[in-house]
Amino acid sequence: MIELTILMPCLNEAETLETCVRKARGYLEASGIKGEVMVADNGSTDGSQAIAEGLGAVVVPVAQRGYGAALIAGISAARGRFVIMGDSDDSYDFARLDGFVERLRAGADLVMGNRFKGGIAKGAMPPLHRYLGNPVLSTVGRVLYRTPVGDFHCGLRGFSRAAILKLGLTSPGMEFASEMVMKASLAGLNIAEVPTTLSPDGRSRPPHLRSWRDGWRHLKLLLTFAPFSIFLYPGLALLALGGALFLPLLFAPVTLGGVTLDTGTLIFAATFIMTGFQLVWFHALARLFAVRMNLLPTSPRFERLRSRLSVDTACQVGAVFLLMAFLATVASVGFWASRGFGPLEAGTITRTASLVAVLAALGMQSVTNGFLWGLLSQKAPVEVPTPEGEPARV
């Protein structure tokens, strides 16, 4: 049985591929590990495939362009129990992989290299990436996903092939690096780090990486898979702040120190409540969709919510809010009638209108989001062959 696959994504790396493959094969021979060197080729036109095959590497042709697409195909084709992946531009040293193998054998599911701990040679990483891009994105990732990984984007990493395949990684571009760490963290995999050195790459052409475009794609992915941090927690905070301001201001101005809060603050508070309520709903809907699509793991708490929340429940809650809005409207019109439908104080009108607006908005949000929850909760149709051989959906 093959224990280790050393995997390299490749797109026109003829200048450096031979060095990388020789180092990887040399490591396997020196360490006595039964393994293979694999090159996932993304359509090279400079003879990279022939170089790899001539050195005994397995070449996997990948039609879909992209760093992630090449690695996904390579991981799928790998025969090793463990996979160590690294760029084929000679910036990582494939002759020094003992730290990765040791931790994988000790039970780690994912072993990340950390270039900031291992050493970054002069000219190996642009200042924009070294002092802004990588530190910022890695910090965002650590905070959102509660993971110990200090270098989210290190291209040299090792992992259990079986564990990573279960994550269902799909990103075709450079953001694949972040997706692996995020989903591994969410799935509770055992993650370790080893110091890794980074050297200047050996090619004469510019790198495939595009700083701002790929940086935004990494950040977008980090935020997309963090519904708690970008929807639930901000939503609950807005609800709490809005409610704390709205309820007392509904009856009269409030003076705090030397500042008097009145109808202007009341309108802001109403906005906070409506926005926060929608963010909480959006979190629930996003989480349901992600769990249904196996993009995020579920939890006992979410499953309890899933079992209790239905279209009927949401409509009942929405109906209560809408009834309260209607009663508040009737009471307001009755109050106005008692004044002979004459002019009303601006503060009175604003307070009444704000209450009706908040209640009506919460009611409609509950009903409409409830129906969307019900739609997302439906089971997918099953295709059953008909007598004529045509599939029918039931």
Where exactly are the structural domains of the chain? 4-224, 227-377
Tens-digit pLDDT string for the chain (394 aa): 899 999 999 999 999 999 999 999 999 999 999 999 999 999 999 999 999 999 999 999 999 999 999 999 999 999 999 999 999 999 999 999 999 999 999 999 999 999 999 999 988 887 887 878 788 888 888 888 888 898 988 999 999 999 999 998 988 988 898 899 989 998 889 999 999 999 988 777 666 666 677 778 778 888 877 767 788 999 999 999 999 999 999 999 999 888 999 999 999 999 999 999 999 999 999 889 888 877 777 888 889 999 999 999 999 999 999 999 999 999 988 888 887 887 877 777 889 999 999 999 999 999 999 999 999 988 756 565 655 555 555 4
User: Cβ distance 280 to 286 under 8 Å?
Assistant: no
Give DSSP secondary structure letters for 286-308: HHHHHHHTTSS---HHHHHHHHH
Q: For residue 69, which amino acid is it?
A: A
Residue 135's pLDDT is 86
Among residues 109, 88, 112, which one has the least CA distance to residue 99? 112
H or E element at residue 85: strand 82-85
Q: Is 167 exposed, middle or buried (0-12, 13-18, 19+ CB in 10 A)?
A: buried
Give the C-alpha separation, 132 to 113, whole Å. 19
User: Cβ distance 284 to 377 under 8 Å?
Assistant: no
Among residues 245, 251, 252, which one has the least CA distance to residue 266? 245
Strand partners, 157: 85, 112
Handedness of CA 90, 67, 145, 229 (dihedral sign): positive
**Beta-carbon count within 10 A of 79 CB:** 15
Give the C-alpha separation, 284 to 287, whole Å. 5
User: Cβ distance 208 to 239 under 8 Å?
Assistant: no
Residue 206's pLDDT is 66
Give the C-alpha separation, 108 to 192, whole Å. 6
> For the CA atoms of the chain, what is the radius of gyration?
29
**Beta-carbon count within 10 A of 132 CB:** 13
Q: Is 31 helix (H, G, I), strand (E, B) or coil?
A: helix
Give the C-alpha separation, 341 to 364, whole Å. 29
- For the domain made up of 4-224, the CATH class stated in words is alpha beta
Residue 393's pLDDT is 54
Residue 6 CA: distances (Å) to CA of 31, 104, 190: 13, 13, 20
Among residues 112, 91, 74, which one has the least CA distance to residue 16? 91
Give DSSP secondary structure letters for 94-147: TT--HHHHHHHHTT-SEEEEEHHHH-B-TTSS-HHIIIIIHHHHHHHHHHHHT-
Cα atoms found within 13 Å of the Cα of residue 98, Cβ hemisphere only:
5
**Residues near 341 by Cβ (< 8 Å), separated by ≥ 6?**
none
Residue with tokens 């509770």: 188
Give DSSP secondary structure letters for 201-216: ---SSPPS--HHHHHH
Note the Cα 295 to chain centre separation in Å: 9
Q: Is 169 helix (H, G, I), strand (E, B) or coil?
A: coil
User: Cβ distance 192 to 112 under 8 Å?
Assistant: yes
User: Cβ distance 173 to 214 under 8 Å?
Assistant: yes
